[in-house]
Amino acid sequence: MVVSSAPGKVYLFGEHAVVYGEPAVPCAIERRARVTVEARDDDSLRVHAEDLSLDGFTVEYSDGSDDDPDVDVSESLVDAAMGYIDAAVEQARDAANAPDAGFDITIESEIPLGAGLGSSAAVTTAGIHAATRELGVELPTEEVAERAYQAELEVQGGDASRADTFCSATGGAVRVEGDDCRAIEAPDLPFVIGFDGGAGDTGRLVAGVRALREEYDFAADTVESIGDVVRYGEQVLAEGDIEELGRLMNFNHGLLEALGVSSRSLDQMVWAARDAGALGSKLTGAGGGGCIVALDPTDSTETALDYTPGCEDAFRAELDTDGVRVEET
Protein backbone atom coordinates (compact mmCIF):
# COMPACT_ATOMS: atom_id res chain seq x y z
CA MET A 1 0.00 0.00 0.00
CA VAL A 2 1.20 3.53 -0.79
CA VAL A 3 -0.39 6.78 0.41
CA SER A 4 0.56 9.96 -1.48
CA SER A 5 -0.76 13.47 -1.06
CA ALA A 6 -0.67 16.61 -3.21
CA PRO A 7 -1.74 20.20 -2.51
CA GLY A 8 -4.56 22.27 -3.95
CA LYS A 9 -3.86 25.79 -5.21
CA VAL A 10 -5.15 29.30 -5.75
CA TYR A 11 -4.42 31.44 -8.77
CA LEU A 12 -2.76 34.69 -7.80
CA PHE A 13 -3.18 35.59 -11.48
CA GLY A 14 -3.77 34.22 -14.94
CA GLU A 15 -6.40 31.46 -15.03
CA HIS A 16 -8.15 30.99 -18.40
CA ALA A 17 -5.60 33.18 -20.24
CA VAL A 18 -2.97 30.50 -19.48
CA VAL A 19 -4.90 28.12 -21.77
CA TYR A 20 -3.95 30.45 -24.70
CA GLY A 21 -0.23 30.70 -23.86
CA GLU A 22 -0.32 33.69 -21.52
CA PRO A 23 1.60 33.32 -18.25
CA ALA A 24 -0.12 32.43 -14.96
CA VAL A 25 0.97 32.30 -11.32
CA PRO A 26 -0.75 29.61 -9.26
CA CYS A 27 0.31 29.04 -5.64
CA ALA A 28 -0.03 25.72 -3.78
CA ILE A 29 -1.97 25.93 -0.50
CA GLU A 30 -1.93 23.79 2.62
CA ARG A 31 -5.06 21.84 1.75
CA ARG A 32 -4.25 18.43 0.36
CA ALA A 33 -5.79 15.42 -1.33
CA ARG A 34 -4.55 12.05 0.00
CA VAL A 35 -4.79 9.01 -2.23
CA THR A 36 -4.23 5.49 -0.88
CA VAL A 37 -3.49 2.82 -3.49
CA GLU A 38 -3.31 -0.91 -2.92
CA ALA A 39 -2.70 -3.35 -5.76
CA ARG A 40 -5.41 -5.99 -6.32
CA ASP A 41 -5.05 -9.57 -7.50
CA ASP A 42 -7.32 -8.88 -10.49
CA ASP A 43 -7.40 -6.05 -13.05
CA SER A 44 -10.38 -4.17 -11.58
CA LEU A 45 -10.55 -0.78 -9.94
CA ARG A 46 -12.45 0.07 -6.73
CA VAL A 47 -12.57 3.64 -5.52
CA HIS A 48 -13.63 4.83 -2.09
CA ALA A 49 -13.80 8.58 -1.64
CA GLU A 50 -14.60 10.80 1.29
CA ASP A 51 -14.56 14.52 2.08
CA LEU A 52 -14.64 15.61 -1.54
CA SER A 53 -16.69 18.64 -0.55
CA LEU A 54 -16.12 20.73 2.55
CA ASP A 55 -19.19 19.02 4.06
CA GLY A 56 -17.71 15.68 3.19
CA PHE A 57 -19.31 12.67 1.60
CA THR A 58 -18.59 9.05 0.99
CA VAL A 59 -19.06 7.22 -2.25
CA GLU A 60 -18.38 3.62 -3.11
CA TYR A 61 -17.73 3.32 -6.80
CA SER A 62 -16.50 0.46 -8.90
CA ASP A 63 -16.24 -0.12 -12.61
CA GLY A 64 -19.41 -1.60 -13.99
CA SER A 65 -21.45 -1.09 -10.81
CA ASP A 66 -25.06 0.10 -11.19
CA ASP A 67 -25.26 1.33 -7.60
CA ASP A 68 -26.29 4.97 -7.20
CA PRO A 69 -23.73 6.69 -5.00
CA ASP A 70 -25.09 8.18 -1.76
CA VAL A 71 -23.60 11.67 -1.91
CA ASP A 72 -24.31 15.29 -0.99
CA VAL A 73 -22.76 16.81 -4.10
CA SER A 74 -24.04 16.40 -7.63
CA GLU A 75 -23.55 13.10 -9.37
CA SER A 76 -21.93 14.87 -12.33
CA LEU A 77 -19.21 16.16 -10.00
CA VAL A 78 -18.62 12.67 -8.67
CA ASP A 79 -18.50 11.32 -12.24
CA ALA A 80 -16.00 14.03 -13.14
CA ALA A 81 -13.81 13.13 -10.13
CA MET A 82 -13.94 9.47 -11.10
CA GLY A 83 -12.95 10.42 -14.66
CA TYR A 84 -9.74 11.95 -13.29
CA ILE A 85 -9.06 8.81 -11.23
CA ASP A 86 -9.58 6.55 -14.26
CA ALA A 87 -7.21 8.71 -16.31
CA ALA A 88 -4.63 8.74 -13.49
CA VAL A 89 -4.77 4.94 -13.26
CA GLU A 90 -4.24 4.66 -17.03
CA GLN A 91 -1.17 6.90 -16.74
CA ALA A 92 0.21 4.81 -13.85
CA ARG A 93 -0.37 1.55 -15.74
CA ASP A 94 1.41 3.01 -18.76
CA ALA A 95 4.36 4.38 -16.72
CA ALA A 96 4.86 1.02 -14.98
CA ASN A 97 4.22 -1.00 -18.14
CA ALA A 98 1.49 -2.89 -16.26
CA PRO A 99 -1.64 -2.55 -18.42
CA ASP A 100 -3.62 -5.07 -16.35
CA ALA A 101 -2.84 -3.72 -12.88
CA GLY A 102 -5.92 -3.44 -10.62
CA PHE A 103 -6.19 -1.25 -7.55
CA ASP A 104 -8.19 -0.42 -4.44
CA ILE A 105 -8.09 3.36 -4.19
CA THR A 106 -9.20 5.57 -1.30
CA ILE A 107 -9.39 9.33 -1.72
CA GLU A 108 -9.57 11.75 1.19
CA SER A 109 -9.52 15.39 0.26
CA GLU A 110 -9.61 18.69 2.14
CA ILE A 111 -10.23 20.47 -1.17
CA PRO A 112 -13.84 21.00 -2.30
CA LEU A 113 -14.64 19.50 -5.70
CA GLY A 114 -14.77 21.75 -8.75
CA ALA A 115 -14.45 24.90 -6.62
CA GLY A 116 -11.34 26.44 -8.17
CA LEU A 117 -8.85 25.08 -5.63
CA GLY A 118 -7.35 22.44 -7.89
CA SER A 119 -9.05 19.35 -6.46
CA SER A 120 -8.84 17.39 -9.71
CA ALA A 121 -5.14 18.21 -10.23
CA ALA A 122 -4.34 17.23 -6.62
CA VAL A 123 -6.24 13.93 -6.84
CA THR A 124 -4.76 13.12 -10.27
CA THR A 125 -1.19 14.00 -9.22
CA ALA A 126 -1.35 12.10 -5.91
CA GLY A 127 -3.09 9.16 -7.66
CA ILE A 128 -0.37 8.78 -10.31
CA HIS A 129 2.35 9.15 -7.66
CA ALA A 130 0.86 6.51 -5.34
CA ALA A 131 -0.16 4.03 -8.07
CA THR A 132 3.24 4.05 -9.79
CA ARG A 133 5.05 3.58 -6.47
CA GLU A 134 2.69 0.74 -5.58
CA LEU A 135 3.85 -0.86 -8.85
CA GLY A 136 7.50 -0.30 -7.86
CA VAL A 137 8.22 2.71 -10.12
CA GLU A 138 9.50 6.05 -8.72
CA LEU A 139 8.80 8.77 -11.27
CA PRO A 140 10.61 12.11 -11.10
CA THR A 141 8.28 14.96 -10.05
CA GLU A 142 8.40 16.44 -13.58
CA GLU A 143 7.10 13.18 -15.04
CA VAL A 144 4.31 12.96 -12.47
CA ALA A 145 3.37 16.54 -13.47
CA GLU A 146 3.50 15.69 -17.18
CA ARG A 147 1.38 12.55 -16.78
CA ALA A 148 -1.13 14.39 -14.57
CA TYR A 149 -1.38 17.05 -17.29
CA GLN A 150 -2.01 14.36 -19.94
CA ALA A 151 -4.74 12.90 -17.71
CA GLU A 152 -6.39 16.34 -17.29
CA LEU A 153 -6.15 16.99 -21.03
CA GLU A 154 -7.99 13.75 -21.72
CA VAL A 155 -10.76 14.41 -19.19
CA GLN A 156 -11.15 18.08 -20.20
CA GLY A 157 -11.41 17.25 -23.90
CA GLY A 158 -8.05 18.69 -24.95
CA ASP A 159 -8.42 22.15 -23.36
CA ALA A 160 -6.18 22.45 -20.30
CA SER A 161 -2.99 24.20 -19.29
CA ARG A 162 -0.12 22.72 -17.30
CA ALA A 163 -0.67 25.21 -14.48
CA ASP A 164 -2.82 23.21 -12.03
CA THR A 165 -0.97 19.92 -12.34
CA PHE A 166 2.55 21.42 -12.30
CA CYS A 167 1.72 23.49 -9.20
CA SER A 168 0.23 20.49 -7.42
CA ALA A 169 3.24 18.30 -8.28
CA THR A 170 5.94 20.78 -7.21
CA GLY A 171 4.19 22.89 -4.54
CA GLY A 172 5.09 26.53 -3.85
CA ALA A 173 4.47 29.46 -6.17
CA VAL A 174 5.00 28.66 -9.85
CA ARG A 175 4.97 30.41 -13.18
CA VAL A 176 3.51 28.64 -16.18
CA GLU A 177 3.59 29.88 -19.76
CA GLY A 178 2.79 27.23 -22.34
CA ASP A 179 5.23 24.34 -21.78
CA ASP A 180 7.56 26.49 -19.69
CA CYS A 181 6.85 25.69 -16.02
CA ARG A 182 9.09 26.88 -13.19
CA ALA A 183 9.18 27.59 -9.46
CA ILE A 184 9.32 31.26 -8.44
CA GLU A 185 10.09 33.06 -5.17
CA ALA A 186 7.10 34.54 -3.37
CA PRO A 187 6.82 36.64 -0.23
CA ASP A 188 4.51 35.56 2.58
CA LEU A 189 1.07 35.99 0.98
CA PRO A 190 -1.86 36.45 3.41
CA PHE A 191 -4.46 34.44 1.45
CA VAL A 192 -8.08 34.33 2.60
CA ILE A 193 -10.48 32.07 0.71
CA GLY A 194 -14.26 32.39 0.45
CA PHE A 195 -16.27 29.40 -0.78
CA ASP A 196 -19.88 29.69 -1.96
CA GLY A 197 -20.55 25.96 -1.55
CA GLY A 198 -20.90 25.53 -5.31
CA ALA A 199 -18.81 24.44 -8.24
CA GLY A 200 -18.16 25.37 -11.84
CA ASP A 201 -17.85 23.07 -14.82
CA THR A 202 -14.26 23.71 -15.95
CA GLY A 203 -14.71 22.22 -19.42
CA ARG A 204 -17.81 24.30 -20.13
CA LEU A 205 -16.26 27.52 -18.77
CA VAL A 206 -13.06 27.05 -20.77
CA ALA A 207 -15.13 26.37 -23.90
CA GLY A 208 -17.19 29.52 -23.23
CA VAL A 209 -14.07 31.70 -23.10
CA ARG A 210 -12.75 30.06 -26.27
CA ALA A 211 -16.02 30.83 -28.09
CA LEU A 212 -16.06 34.45 -26.86
CA ARG A 213 -12.44 34.92 -27.88
CA GLU A 214 -13.21 33.63 -31.37
CA GLU A 215 -16.30 35.81 -31.73
CA TYR A 216 -14.96 39.14 -30.48
CA ASP A 217 -11.53 40.68 -30.99
CA PHE A 218 -11.98 42.60 -27.76
CA ALA A 219 -12.44 39.30 -25.88
CA ALA A 220 -9.13 38.13 -27.38
CA ASP A 221 -7.65 41.46 -26.24
CA THR A 222 -9.07 40.83 -22.75
CA VAL A 223 -7.22 37.51 -22.62
CA GLU A 224 -4.01 39.31 -23.67
CA SER A 225 -4.64 42.00 -21.05
CA ILE A 226 -4.73 39.28 -18.39
CA GLY A 227 -1.29 38.24 -19.68
CA ASP A 228 -0.10 41.87 -19.27
CA VAL A 229 -1.39 41.95 -15.68
CA VAL A 230 0.50 38.71 -14.96
CA ARG A 231 3.75 39.96 -16.52
CA TYR A 232 3.62 43.12 -14.43
CA GLY A 233 2.44 41.07 -11.41
CA GLU A 234 5.57 38.92 -11.59
CA GLN A 235 7.78 42.01 -11.12
CA VAL A 236 5.59 43.19 -8.24
CA LEU A 237 5.77 39.73 -6.66
CA ALA A 238 9.58 39.76 -6.89
CA GLU A 239 9.60 43.20 -5.18
CA GLY A 240 7.26 41.87 -2.47
CA ASP A 241 4.82 44.80 -2.84
CA ILE A 242 1.68 43.15 -1.46
CA GLU A 243 -0.52 46.25 -1.82
CA GLU A 244 0.22 46.52 -5.53
CA LEU A 245 -0.38 42.77 -5.90
CA GLY A 246 -3.84 43.30 -4.42
CA ARG A 247 -4.64 46.03 -6.95
CA LEU A 248 -3.59 43.72 -9.76
CA MET A 249 -5.80 40.95 -8.41
CA ASN A 250 -8.73 43.38 -8.60
CA PHE A 251 -7.80 44.12 -12.23
CA ASN A 252 -7.54 40.43 -12.99
CA HIS A 253 -11.00 39.77 -11.52
CA GLY A 254 -12.52 42.54 -13.65
CA LEU A 255 -11.08 41.00 -16.80
CA LEU A 256 -12.33 37.51 -15.83
CA GLU A 257 -15.74 39.03 -15.15
CA ALA A 258 -15.70 40.51 -18.66
CA LEU A 259 -15.01 37.03 -20.02
CA GLY A 260 -18.20 35.80 -18.33
CA VAL A 261 -16.67 33.36 -15.84
CA SER A 262 -17.67 35.07 -12.60
CA SER A 263 -21.02 34.61 -10.87
CA ARG A 264 -23.25 36.58 -8.53
CA SER A 265 -21.99 34.76 -5.42
CA LEU A 266 -18.34 35.08 -6.48
CA ASP A 267 -18.83 38.82 -7.10
CA GLN A 268 -20.60 39.19 -3.74
CA MET A 269 -17.65 37.59 -1.95
CA VAL A 270 -15.12 39.62 -3.96
CA TRP A 271 -16.89 42.86 -2.97
CA ALA A 272 -17.36 41.79 0.66
CA ALA A 273 -13.61 41.20 0.86
CA ARG A 274 -12.81 44.59 -0.69
CA ASP A 275 -15.30 46.38 1.56
CA ALA A 276 -13.66 44.71 4.56
CA GLY A 277 -10.31 46.21 3.55
CA ALA A 278 -8.69 43.34 1.65
CA LEU A 279 -5.74 44.51 -0.47
CA GLY A 280 -7.33 42.74 -3.43
CA SER A 281 -9.70 39.90 -4.29
CA LYS A 282 -10.58 37.81 -7.30
CA LEU A 283 -12.20 34.54 -8.26
CA THR A 284 -9.76 31.63 -8.46
CA GLY A 285 -9.75 28.77 -10.97
CA ALA A 286 -12.30 28.24 -13.68
CA GLY A 287 -15.04 30.31 -11.96
CA GLY A 288 -18.78 29.92 -12.44
CA GLY A 289 -19.06 29.26 -8.68
CA GLY A 290 -16.71 28.00 -6.01
CA CYS A 291 -13.99 30.13 -4.46
CA ILE A 292 -12.52 33.59 -4.35
CA VAL A 293 -9.08 34.45 -3.02
CA ALA A 294 -8.32 37.70 -1.21
CA LEU A 295 -5.14 39.18 0.29
CA ASP A 296 -5.58 40.40 3.84
CA PRO A 297 -3.06 40.19 6.68
CA THR A 298 -5.81 41.11 9.21
CA ASP A 299 -8.87 39.06 10.29
CA SER A 300 -11.33 41.52 8.68
CA THR A 301 -11.92 39.72 5.38
CA GLU A 302 -12.46 36.32 6.98
CA THR A 303 -14.93 37.83 9.45
CA ALA A 304 -16.77 39.77 6.72
CA LEU A 305 -17.01 36.67 4.51
CA ASP A 306 -18.45 34.68 7.43
CA TYR A 307 -21.40 37.12 7.38
CA THR A 308 -21.72 37.44 3.60
CA PRO A 309 -24.88 35.91 2.09
CA GLY A 310 -23.82 33.25 -0.36
CA CYS A 311 -20.52 32.51 1.39
CA GLU A 312 -20.61 29.04 2.93
CA ASP A 313 -17.10 28.95 4.35
CA ALA A 314 -14.17 31.32 4.77
CA PHE A 315 -10.69 30.30 5.81
CA ARG A 316 -7.07 31.38 5.71
CA ALA A 317 -4.72 29.41 3.47
CA GLU A 318 -0.93 29.25 3.80
CA LEU A 319 1.39 28.70 0.86
CA ASP A 320 2.41 25.02 0.78
CA THR A 321 6.01 24.64 -0.32
CA ASP A 322 5.68 20.84 -0.51
CA GLY A 323 4.38 19.27 -3.69
CA VAL A 324 3.33 15.66 -4.17
CA ARG A 325 4.81 13.40 -1.50
CA VAL A 326 4.56 9.96 0.04
CA GLU A 327 2.65 9.97 3.34
CA GLU A 328 2.79 6.27 4.19
CA THR A 329 3.94 2.99 2.70
C-alpha–C-alpha distance, residues 58 and 60, integer Å: 7
Q: Is 122 annotated as a binding residue?
A: yes
296: Cβ contacts below 8 Å, ≥ 6 apart = 190, 192, 273, 276, 277, 278, 279, 302
**CB 173, min distance to ligand MEV, A:** 16
CB-wise, 45 or 291, nearer to ligand MEV?
291
Shortest approach of ligand MEV to residue 253 CB, angstroms? 14
18 touches ligand MEV by CB under 6 A: yes
Helices 242-258, 217-239: axis angle to 10 degrees equals: 170
Judged by DSSP in three states, 306 sits in: helix
Q: Which of 206, 230, 255, 273 binds ligand MEV (CB under 6 A)?
A: 206
How many whole angstroms separate alpha carbon 164 and alpha carbon 158?
A: 15
- Under rule CB under 6 A, residue 163 binds ligand MEV: yes
Is position 116 annotated in a ligand binding site? yes
Taking CB under 6 A as the criterion, the residue among 202, 250, 265, 268 binding ligand MEV is: 202
Instruction: Tell me which stretch binds ligand MEV (CB under 6 A): 55-63, 84-92, 124-132, 160-168.
Output: 160-168
Total residues contacting ligand MEV (rule CB under 6 A)? 12
Chain-centre distance for alpha carbon 302: 21
Q: Nearest distance from residue 299's CB to ligand MEV, in Å?
A: 28
Q: Across the strands, what pairs with 6?
A: 33
212 is a site residue for ligand MEV (CB under 6 A): no
Spatial CA neighbour of 146 closest among 125, 130, 127: 125
Asked if residue 297 belongs to a known ligand binding site, the reply is no
* 35 contacts ligand MEV (rule: CB under 6 A): no
Q: Mind giving me the DSSP string for 228-274?
A: HHHHHHHHHHHHT-HHHHHHHHHHHHHHHHHTT---HHHHHHHHHHH
Q: Check whether 187 is labelled as a binding-site residue.
A: no
Please say if 164 is a catalytic residue. Answer: yes
Site for ligand MEV in 263-292 (CB under 6 A): 285-286
Q: Which strands, in side-by-side order, build the sheet including 291-295?
A: 280-283, 291-295, 191-195, 313-317
Tell which one of 119, 161, 222, 265 touches ligand MEV (CB under 6 A). 161
Show binding-site residues for ATP: 112-122
